Amino acid sequence: MRLLSLLLLFAVSAAAQKPTIAQAEAFMTRAENELLKLGIDSQRATWVQETYINDDTEKLNALLTDQLIARTTALVMESKKYDGLKLPPALARKFLLLKLSLPMPAPNNAKLREELTQVAASLDGSYGKGKYCPGGPKEKCYGIDDLEEQMVTIRDPQKLAELWAGWHAIGAPMKDRYARFAELSNQGARELGFKDTGAIWRAGYDMTPEEFSADLERLWKQVEPLYKELHAYTRKKLIQKYGAAATRKDGLIPAHLMGNMWAQEWGNIYDLAAPPAAPQPFDLGDILTKRKATARQVVEFGENFFVSLGFPKLPETFWQRSMLSKPADRDVVCHASAWDIDTDQDVRLKLCIHDTSDDFITVHHELGHVYYYLSYRKLDPSFRSGANDGFHEAIGDAVALSITPGYLKKIGLIEKEPPAEADLPLLLRTAMDKIAFLPFGLLIDKWRWEVFSGQTKPADYNKAWWRLREQYQGVAPPVDRSEADFDPGAKYHIPGNTPYIRYFLARIYQFQFYRSMCRAAGYQGPLNRCSFFDSKTAGANLAKMLELGQSKPWPEALKAMTGEDKADASAMVEYFEPLLRWLKEQNKGEKLGWDLPADPLKSR
């Protein structure tokens, strides 16, 4: 009898200790409030560090980042006691998102966590302070912003190779630090119950990491034929221009000849690839320069587009606190980015505008982030994010697709629309950025996932990098490389620890979004000619999706605007269909694709 009483008492005690839904709700409310405050402090420190780069701001940023990561990690650990508890769907989603909220998961050990945040801040700072000094450190030196401008105009392959090698040299000192960064981040990921950091990143797409990887390959296969046609045509044009400097037996294209430091977008060499008898497309950069447009005026064009769809004007603080031009007195990270400092109305842009066509498009892209921030700001803190990060990248790009000749004429930037035969050069120019980017957008995180999983060891970092670039992009280094180099470090998103697959997804989503908004606007005709500027119906559909934030799985958010619940590249293929037909004609007799060399580090 006494034993039975003890057993009953034990059962009652165990039941009393079992967490309840009410306790889970209270925990989550507390966690959201704490992380909101810490996140705001961290954002402010990161903003200062990227707009005033020095040792002090790096250390302050590392300190605030460490505090945020430490508390997030502790809260994730504390949340485990609610595992197995049947929670309401919205609350269950908050717990999942909490576990996935660390793009840089850190060890629970304070000393190791501090080391990780310091290494991360130093990598980011090394990129921001990176310079190429052709005549030595006492002579004139160039940052990436200056070098990118030179890559646009220089047509001497030897000089381009020197600029390429000079900038890529900044990566070599990062290699050991990056290996340590990956090691520490992986330890944090395992403590959170994931295989590695890459598994955490892929788990944020409302499907398993394995399902997500398979879906990416499905999307790539939809667009790969178009990429290979564009690659073959561009390769032919480069050989016509540069002869032996562009010619390789394996069919790969030397990466320094594409008008871009990473050969990720090719629009800067459009002049070499343009159809010979076609009307030249207008140059927005030239138009803006002749009008002496200020940086603010360039941004106002983007703001006015969103206003035409029914969205509000930007807060006055946006104009007071954004960095739109490169300061003359200090080092800054010029890489364009949008900022949501307080997850309310303190939104900002950070970029260095030069009145180029790319800047005009970039402004629309970054404002897409800003209007997404403003749209979901009233949700619970856990849901103040995009349906997935690819959505965030795609919004402004879908708007930028509406920068058609008809739109530019309507807002007074051009006097008359080019004739219908100008469509082809415009499509080619767009494809040399949008289509050319796809394999690069895919391989950046493929490389990191292999690093995080241990498939790629530090001794093979550079070899694995070039293997993927050759496999997907069909490009090769202009000079011999070795494992003493660390070419991934020359791309901001690697030392900056910014997940990249979002940009690949954004290229796919944006055409799906764009086609949906064109249909909502009542447009009929070739998809590439559509502009939904001034369509309140298209804007209302867009707002439905933006206002959901991350409160629902992304297929539901996609369906709210498009009526479709699956990513689909068919809209992109439809947009470029006239170009694809033309490329096939131009490529008759040309080799499609390329051979993979035995040693990916050799330039020849």
Catalytic positions are 366, 493
Please report, as a single letter, which amino acid is at residue 114.
Answer: E
Rounded distance between C-alpha atoms, residue 383 and residue 52, angstroms: 31
Please report, as a single letter, which amino acid is at residue 181.
Answer: F
Among 302, 381, 310, residue whose Cα is nearest residue 340: 381
Q: E strand or H helix at 148, and its extent?
A: helix 144-153
CB-based contacts of 270, cutoff 8 Å, min separation 6? 281, 428, 429, 432
Among 463, 467, 574, residue whose Cα is nearest residue 529: 574
Rounded distance between C-alpha atoms, residue 235 and residue 273, angstroms: 9
The C-alpha angle with vertex 56 and arms to 54 and 59, in degrees rounded to 5, equals 110
The C-alpha angle with vertex 573 and arms to 572 and 579, in degrees rounded to 5, equals 110
Both tokens of 370, joined, read 């800003």
Q: Are 156 and 146 in contact (CB under 8 A)?
A: no
Strands 337-340 and 347-350: antiparallel
Rounded distance between C-alpha atoms, residue 228 and residue 527, angstroms: 22
| 4 SS3 class | helix
Residue 378: Cβ-neighbour burial (10 angstroms; 0-12, 13-18, 19+):
exposed
Q: Are 28 and 95 in contact (CB under 8 A)?
A: yes
Rounded distance between C-alpha atoms, residue 67 and residue 491, angstroms: 27
Both tokens of 315, joined, read 């807060």
Backbone angles phi, psi at 132, to 5 degrees: -115, 125
Strand partners, 253: 475
| Three-state secondary structure of 215-252 | HHHHHHHHHHHHHHHHHHHHHHHHHHHHHHHHCCCCCC
Rounded distance between C-alpha atoms, residue 267 and residue 397, angstroms: 16
Rounded distance between C-alpha atoms, residue 36 and residue 28, angstroms: 12
- In terms of DSSP H, where are the helices of 283-410? 284-290, 295-308, 316-321, 357-375, 389-400, 405-410
Q: E strand or H helix at 339, and its extent?
A: strand 337-340
Q: Are 170 and 161 in contact (CB under 8 A)?
A: no
Q: For the chain, percent helix, then strand, then coil, each to nearest 5?
A: 65, 0, 35
Q: CA gyration radius for the chain?
A: 25
Angle, helices 110-128 vs 175-191, to 10°: value is 140
Q: Are 133 and 139 in contact (CB under 8 A)?
A: yes
